[in-house]
Structure 1
């Protein structure tokens, strides 16, 4: 067996592939297309393909071992596998159809989700093997850090701070390695290592017309730190803001934008947190080039200070402007100012 560690050091030297050099960047900016899709720039790229699958079959069973027990990880994993079932023939080194069977006995691949992963390198949030062309996952006598008997282990780190989008993207990334891809292969939006990706500069969140890869966003209001009367006020303010932006915010937002309240913090892309120490916004996202700035968002917390509850409509509305078109607040909230942190 010859394979390397995705997101980690080499277990042994893999067979070089023609695309293990820096590739031209994809267009990260999203406007009218749902998340995630292959970019037109990559559609004509010739794919280097293995002669055979390392599983020696096309139908690959994927099981789940989840010790975090937070959120619907099965749904996030299903979305990730659906991505590769749709685009694997465009990007992957071999053809595979992933079949999710969460409780499968001896699956071909196990998604092992835990609060802390045991990976070759420190500070990794996931790791998996990257097969070379001659790799065979036969399980007969091989037992490495990534192969347990007949099952290949893909490690995913998660916690109560992780949402569905972060879990899904992590699984897409690691399963990309399973398909033979390295950090400089397409799709760059998810395969590039954060802050250590392509040399070509990509538009930062502040420079884009829409900073997400999906026009449909879920909003969760955490009312655990405020009184009942304040809860109603913040929820009503949030709903009014959502209606304003869904209507187009006076023709300043993409037509496909659809914000929706959810009762699941795990499913939320945006969390409204009233009763905080101060009013500010804390975005989390991904950098696919080599600067520290985010190129797209995956989760955002909007903090409403305990003393600002009466201004919750203005504050949430202004911060939502940053999340839907960073450099262009709509007329309704143009005069409101808040702080921003980057995560």
Structure 2
């Protein structure tokens, strides 16, 4: 019996970076001219002539730090990236056009012009957001703007380029919220919360990779707790045969650079091998294994393994190595018997107790 335990898809920090404020006055008075109160006849005639009415303009809310009701948004896309980001940006902008007054306190609209020469905001899609203020490992970064003196046109919003469409739109909404003056404690929390479980674009599953782990040196902890003292030397030798077999390439079934190092604690081990009196899998006698890992693209299949647990219950000592070897193969991405090296395919009772590693 086996199982796969999924971790959170991609828990990552969403951030905003405070923008500086220029020293000086927030606004200036408009110059006015003084009048003596006396006019000439010509002036009087002119004042009676109807003047054209000015074209009405939108009134900008006093709380709007951008001092404009409509902002022009441009895009910056990495060279060679052919992904169509425009629908994702449009979805995020459409959300805030409907909700900016409710949450930010002022109405705002946007013109998406990907190649605009003088935009108010540039959305920059990047493979990595190095830092955002004092935050690292973030999915996006935007200026946190609450005052007109903070605005430096064009402002830049950075967003990770490898996220799924749904997560990209979420990050865009979050970062635009910062640019409108919202922080992580503000509503809507479904968008402005500082952490989110995000997914990436589709990635290769662990079972389809040459090595399912993100490193080739794997740490191993073995718990011999229930093995009688007189049998431990043989148990250790059997476990070592299995480890040596895979460290030697397993007949070219695993990469040549795979190696193992023994550690003293299960908490620091990639692979834990336990000898128990009772099986957690309901097989007694027998063996079972389970892997844990990461599923960043959210497809329900692990893309990287982070832990392998092997449990052996009442296994004959001379069959121990074969059972450990079988589950090590599972930890290297083998799922069907046909995918395993020869010693594990169609092995009989006696084959499992022979010197299969030779």
- Shorter-chain TM band: 0.3 to 0.5
Q: Which has the larger radius of gyration?
A: 2
What's the TM-score once normalised by structure 1's chain length?
Answer: 0.45
